[in-house]
Amino acid sequence: MSFGYDVKKELLSRAPRRRDLKFCFTYGLFIMGKHFSKNGISIHTEHKEIADLYAEFIFDFVALRSNISITEHHKRNGTIIYLVDIEDSEDRMRVLNFFGYSGDELNRRILLSQVENTELASAFLAGAFLSCGSISDPRKSYHVEFVVDHMKLSQDLEYLMTQVLWQPKVIGRRGSYVLYTKDSSQIEDLMTFMGAVQSSLELMNIKIYKELRNKANRVTNCETANIDKTITAASKQIEDIQYIANTKGLSFLGESLEEVARLRWENPEISLRELGGMLSSPLTRSGVNHRLKRISAIADEMRQRQGSALRREGSSSQSAP
């Protein structure tokens, strides 16, 4: 199952039983559903448990004359959508009046007086999330959203979330209004606030794991870069040492430089710090680096002299009769 499914499953398992909280939970589930007017009250969901709860909770508050229909719609990708619908027109008006509405779909608004404290708002947002919310797998990305069909309803939801949590970002998508955040800390706060505490803790664990993995990757990349840098520098040093050995012999360098040169020649893969520890009189990294730079400078000077000598020989041979 997906992470989003687990979040909704946890919210369902924690659905409130206290009367006032249950009212706000049911209110959020209904007002944020697909339709909520005299012409239709319904919800579309991929979760059979949400469909069943939708029907169960409204019967606890309103005496309906007829049953609520639950039908399955099979999509081409294999997904099943459950459509929960109050078909009887008089029953729809009973539900609307119970929540304080006249039945005008265009003026659907959240009655903020119904969710006047954080405890009630928590229950309302849990119901709203089950109705129109979704969350991505945090292993891939951090993203949670509420998709709302009506502008004023989305504005009310934005106001409520800003008052009790944080201000969501809002974009339009195919005629709907999407309230969302990509901030992992805000997502943690939302899930905890709605009551999905275990899911929030799981997200935190995933976040910690990802941060540790990214840190390990950065360390590995840094170490690889340092190794490449060491190999490149060692190749140049060995080239200089070989040139001196072939031209003058390493004894030309003197005792202290010769020891460093021989050790570098024999151990091209080790670091300067390790090289310093192998000397008869150990040196620090900077001390070894200083001696290797002196060796390279000597090699460069010898190359310059050899080049000048060759140029003079060439000039002399051209001027000879």
pLDDT 10s digits, 214-232: 888 887 778 777 777 777 7
Q: Which two tokens stand for residue 206?
A: 């995933």
- Measure CA of the first residue to CA of the last residue in the chain; give whole Å: 94
Question: For 56-83, what is each residue's pLDDT tens digit?
Answer: 999 989 989 888 899 998 888 888 999 9
**How much is the average pLDDT of 260-289?**
89
Tell me, what's the pLDDT at 268? 81
**How much is the average pLDDT of 171-194?**
95
- Domains detected in the chain: 3-195 (3.10.28.10), 222-307 (no CATH)
Tell me, what's the pLDDT at 319? 53
pLDDT of 211 over the 90 cut: no
Tell me, what's the pLDDT at 124? 97
- 43 forms beta bridges with 84
In which band, very low, low, confident or very high, does the pLDDT at 320 lie, cut at 50, 70 and 90? low
**How much is the average pLDDT of 238-261?**
89
DSSP string, 238-286: HHHHHHHHHHT-GGGG-HHHHHHHHHHHH-TTS-HHHHHHHSSS---HH
Percentage of the chain beyond pLDDT 70 is 96
Tell me, what's the pLDDT at 222? 80
Q: 13's torsion region: left (phi>0), alpha (psi -120 to 50) or beta?
A: alpha
Question: For 8-21, what is each residue's pLDDT tens digit?
Answer: 999 999 999 999 99
Confidence (pTM): 0.70
